[in-house]
Amino acid sequence: MYKTHISGCTLEKKNLLRLQMALRSLATRKTLTLALNSTRLAQSRALQTFSLPDLPYDYGALEPAISGEIMQLHHQKHHQTYITNYNKALEQLHDAIQKGDSSTVVKLQSAIKFNGGGHINHSIFWKNLAPIREGGGEPPHGSLGWAIDTNFGSLESLIQKMNAEGAALQGSGWVWLGLDKELKKLVVETTANQDPLVTNGPNLVPLLGIDVWEHAYYLQYKNVRPDYLKNVWKVINWKYASEVYEKESA
Extract the annotated binding site. 74, 122, 211, 215
Closest CA to 72 of 141, 80, 88, 145: 80
Please report the sign of the dihedral spanned by the C-alpha atoms of residue 219, residue 123, residue 183, residue 246: positive
Binding residues for Mn(2+): 74, 122, 211, 215
How far is Cα 236 from Cα 229, in angstroms, rounded to an integer? 11
Q: Longest C-alpha distance within the chain, in Å?
A: 112
How far is Cα 41 from Cα 47, in angstroms, rounded to an integer? 10
How far is Cα 129 from Cα 135, in angstroms, rounded to an integer? 10
Which amino acid appears at position 228 of this protein?
Y
**CA torsion, ordered 35, 39, 42, 45, to nearest 10 deg:** -130
Question: Is residue 214 helix, strand or coil?
Answer: helix
Question: Is residue 164 helix, strand or coil?
Answer: helix
How far is Cα 135 from Cα 56, in angstroms, rounded to an integer? 13
